[in-house]
Chains A and B, each alone.
Chain A
Amino acid sequence: MTLILGIETSCDETAAAVVENGRLIRSSVISSQIDLHARFGGVVPEVASRAHVELINSVIAEALAEADVQFGDLDAVAACQGPGLIGALLVGVSAAKALALTLDVPYVGVNHLEGHLHAAWLQDPDVALPLAVLLVSGGHTMLVAVVEDGRYKVLGQTVDDAAGEAFDKVARICGLGYPGGPAIDRLAKDGDARSIAFPRPMISEGLDFSFSGLKTAVLNHVRRNPEVDVRDVAASFQEAVVDVLVHKLLVAADNSAAATLVMGGGVAANSRLRERLTAAGEASGRRVLVPSMDLCTDNGVMIAATAWWRLRSDGPTSLAGGANPSLGLVSTR
């Protein structure tokens, strides 16, 4: 049995998890989901790079307690080493290295994006490969083919804004609150998705995405039509994004001969995207795998699970290795 502690601090969440043999989730603690206010008495800021420092020890302690293990039971300690905000990343990386050094166990630095890929199929680790994965969040929008364990190919990604970012910004244009994704999703249910013909950017141009122009198209429409029904704007905008995402995921699946469509990232919570993806899966005879929301958004489980694979294939990461805010996902050979 191999027990790995995974730490994730690349953006707003402080998260830690214990995973057994790269598959069995023994615990998962995410700072925004536990009552830290009660514990600290202070305000936990939303943009929380430095807050990681204050949260990390309790989050790790909670993850060990929930898994019912001691520090001495750990076989390795892993942390997300990028991409992300440098100050935020360094908190997790430093904590993981310090623990690994003290416990005399391997340290593993994990790529955040590779973590999301692993999380995507943790719910069914025996799913037949290849997989076509759509990773869609506030910070990322990319298509990846997972060819075999630990081997993947980046098929396309956004050239400007991430899809989740477009949701947030359109929500602001429409005067809705933050986070914008859920607000658009709710309003769109009562709107007419065919009422405004927003562009489907780059829909027939390869597998890269572009959402900046769509955001501007919404802005221009609202400026010119101040009386427009916000529900129609939300529904029409959402339909444009979903059209592009689902269409390109299907093309990616065709190109990579994938029988399973997988989705990860925070935007995977969008109800219309889930509905359309499920329908597309049925229509094309493909299986659709969408992990639970806890695994779609940033978490420690994906770091620990990926570390288990990395440890077997590449061995430990040097303690001299730092954090890399610009780390990309590079196709493996």
Chain B
Amino acid sequence: MTNKDTMMDLCTRSASETLELGVAIGRVLEPGDVIICSGDLGAGKTVLAKGIASGLGVTESVVSPTFAIAHQYQGHCLLQHIDLYRVESTADLVEIGIDELLNADAVIVVEWGELLGSHMPEDWLEITLKSAVPVEAADDVRVVTLRGHGDHWASREAVLRDAVASFEGG
């Protein structure tokens, strides 16, 4: 699978740029796409998810699903926004019905998705957000890495690369 991985290094300089990046990604997503978002607290995962929702044509306000674990929104297609922050074990994943949540006919965005373990789907787009060093001037700068896993993302690479081209480099 590794040889099919595709990777892009991006950079955003503010929360609103992270939002714009999300919009650009959201525009090219289709039902069945699984986005696994990771990064520390405050890295901008929910901001990115807000952007993705907006790119998918969701008009209602997207809020953090940490407490509820999953929120659904209707845009051009369904968006399933999952947050595994409160999940502590594989048993918890079963408790919340993770397989059903991941198999919804929707674009799936999972925050703290690194906790999925064996529930990880075959094809997924990994988005990692990292804040820059703890220097005041760089508080809002984020290094964003996109890595497609599986055949599905190998075939979508060109479209995705095109969508996020303006955020490349940094």
The interface of chain A, by Cβ under 8 A from chain B, is: 11, 45-51, 83-87, 137-139, 157-162, 164-165, 168-169, 172-173, 212-213, 215-216, 219-220, 223-224, 325-326, 328
B94 contacts which of A50, A159, A224, A325 (Cβ < 8 Å)? Answer: A50
**A51–B72 alpha-carbon span in the complex (Å):** 22
Contact residues, B26-76 vs A (CB, 8 A): 40-42, 46-47, 50, 60-61, 63-64, 66-73
B96 proximal to A (CB < 8 A): yes
Closest to B84 in A: A47
Knowing A159-B61, A216-B42 are in contact, say whether A47-B67 is a contact too (CB < 8 A): no
B46 touches A160 (CB 8 A): yes
**A172–B112 alpha-carbon span in the complex (Å):** 15
Closest to B140 in A: A216
A50 contacts which of B41, B61, B88, B95 (Cβ < 8 Å)? Answer: B95
Which chain B residues lie closer than 8 Å to A86 at the CB level?
70, 97, 100
B46 contacts which of A172, A212, A328 (Cβ < 8 Å)? Answer: A212
B122 proximal to A (CB < 8 A): no
Closest to A137 in B: B67
**A219–B139 alpha-carbon span in the complex (Å):** 10
Which chain B residues lie closer than 8 Å to A168 at the CB level?
66
Knowing A162-B63, A162-B64 are in contact, say whether A169-B41 is a contact too (CB < 8 A): yes
Select the residue from A11, A215, A216, A223 with max chain B CB neighbours within 10 A.
A216
* B112 CB, min distance to chain A CBs, angstroms: 12
A47 touches B86 (CB 8 A): yes
Q: Give the contact-size bracket for chain B.
A: 20 to 34
**A206–B59 alpha-carbon span in the complex (Å):** 20
B95 touches A224 (CB 8 A): no
Knowing A47-B86, A50-B97, A85-B96 are in contact, say whether A139-B46 is a contact too (CB < 8 A): no
B134 contacts which of A47, A215, A216, A220 (Cβ < 8 Å)? Answer: A220
A47 touches B63 (CB 8 A): no
B72 touches A49 (CB 8 A): no
Q: Mark B120-155, 1 if CB is under 8 A from A, else 0.
A: 000000000000001010010000000000000000
Q: Can you list 5 A-B contacts (CB < 8 A)? A: A84-B68, A85-B96, A86-B97, A162-B67, A168-B66
**A49–B71 alpha-carbon span in the complex (Å):** 15
Which chain A residues lie closer than 8 Å to B89 at the CB level?
45
Given contacts A49-B96, A161-B63, A172-B41, 11 further A-B contacts (CB under 8 A): A47-B96, A87-B100, A162-B63, A162-B64, A165-B66, A168-B66, A169-B41, A169-B66, A213-B15, A220-B134, A220-B136
A47 contacts which of B15, B64, B69 (Cβ < 8 Å)? Answer: B69
**A51–B136 alpha-carbon span in the complex (Å):** 45
A139 contacts which of B50, B61, B67 (Cβ < 8 Å)? Answer: B67
Which chain B residues lie closer than 8 Å to A224 at the CB level?
134, 136
B41 touches A223 (CB 8 A): no
**A165–B69 alpha-carbon span in the complex (Å):** 12
B91 proximal to A (CB < 8 A): yes
B97 touches A49 (CB 8 A): yes
Which chain A residues lie closer than 8 Å to B63 at the CB level?
157-162
B70 touches A164 (CB 8 A): no
**A69–B86 alpha-carbon span in the complex (Å):** 37
A51 contacts which of B95, B100, B134, B139 (Cβ < 8 Å)? Answer: B95
B70 touches A161 (CB 8 A): no
Closest to B50 in A: A160
* B143 CB, min distance to chain A CBs, angstroms: 16
* A52 CB, min distance to chain B CBs, angstroms: 9
B92 proximal to A (CB < 8 A): yes
B87 proximal to A (CB < 8 A): yes
B68 touches A11 (CB 8 A): yes
**A138–B46 alpha-carbon span in the complex (Å):** 16
B68 touches A85 (CB 8 A): yes
